[in-house]
Structure 1
Amino acid sequence: MKLILTADVPNLGAPGDIVEVKDGYGRNYLLPRSLAVVATRGAEKQVASIRRSQQARQIRDLGHAKEVAGQLGDLSVTVRAKAAGDSGRLFGSVTAADVVEAVRAAGGPPLDRRSVEVSGQIKSVGTHAVTVRLHPEVTAELDIAVVAS
């Protein structure tokens, strides 16, 4: 099955890539989750617009990814949670979008929320480690402090 990816799929490709996958993987995983569309002539024309939007938020190359990783290593990021109980447990959880907003507020580089990998759920105040996937060869570890506001 020939598909055009609309989102980054690990070990498969980036948005705008035209890939050939097995029928079941395409029908049961990629298409229902809107990670890809069927490659038709009309859809192939959309590839250019998908790639333009991807390049606007993408790290340019390996050197730029290492530079951004260095900037992230120097940051002190604090995420303000909306509310927490007496034991420090949050009412809700900290998401990747919250982390991206906190990095931007701390003066860090602009990140895409899809590149931030929160291991498990952050549901308590304290310091937590978050992985940022900047490039296929470069990942950065970011320590965030979660405080109740």
Structure 2
Amino acid sequence: MKIILLKDVPKIGRRYEIKEVSDGYARNFLIKNKLGEIATDAVIKKAEDEKKKMNADKANREAKINEQITNISKEPIIVYSKANEEGHLFAGIKKEEILKLIKNKGADIKPEELEMDKPIKETGSHEVTIKISGKTAKIRLEVTAKK
């Protein structure tokens, strides 16, 4: 049975793809759980339109974010945090805080797009990597002690 997936289904396919699955799997799992529907001409046309719209939205978002990232990466983001005399921070700067700072600068980045191994625990200059659709950009953070 041909079916159009309404959501990403592991080991089957991605959203709006047309797949051939067994009748029982389609009726008892995919359709029942609203993960797919039977592929009729009207449903196929609707799915293709949705897929085109989704791809266009994704391309627009990527272009907008790439422009924002180039603007942000030109100058470092300054972060103030409490630290001792040796430059060790009392609380590490986590991914969520960096995302908030980037958002304040004008770029809306998802958590999975920001690559960071561990929280920043020292004052000084640090780099974080943003990876969007295979493209990477580095943003410099200047961590200074709050007085």
* Alignment length (residue pairs): 106
Deviation per CA, 1:28-77: give whole Å up to 9, x if none.
xxxxxxxxxx97832627xxxxxxxxx9xx67465445323322322431
Deviation per CA, 1:12-41: give whole Å up to 9, x if none.
xxxx522219xxxxxxxxxxxxxxxx9783
- Give secondary structure in 2 for the equivalent of 1:103: helix
List gaps (5 residues or longer) in structure 2.
Answer: 1-6, 13-28, 37-54
* Identity in percent: 18
Q: Which residue of 2 aligns with 1:69?
A: 69
Q: Which residue of 1 aligns with 2:108?
A: 110
1:78 aligned partner, one-letter code: I
- Give secondary structure in 1 for the equivalent of 2:107: coil
Q: Which residue of 2 aligns with 1:101?
A: 100
- The alpha-carbon distance between structure 1 residues 59 and 65, as it changes in their structure 2 partners (threshold 3 A), is farther
Q: Which residue of 2 aligns with 1:17?
A: 8
* TM-score (structure 2 length as normaliser): 0.57
Give runs of ≥4 in structure 1 deviating > 3 Å. 38-41, 58-66
Q: Which residue of 2 aligns with 1:42?
A: 33
* TM-score (structure 1 length as normaliser): 0.56
Pairwise CA RMSD of aligned residues?
A: 3.2
Deviation per CA, 1:52-104: give whole Å up to 9, x if none.
xxx9xx674654453233223224311222x2111000112111111112223
List gaps (5 residues or longer) in structure 1.
Answer: 1-15, 22-37, 46-54
Q: Which residue of 1 aligns with 2:141?
A: 144
Identify the structure with the greater helix proportion.
2
Deviation per CA, 1:111-137: give whole Å up to 9, x if none.
2233211133311011101011222x2
- The alpha-carbon distance between structure 1 residues 125 and 39, as it changes in their structure 2 partners (threshold 3 A), is farther
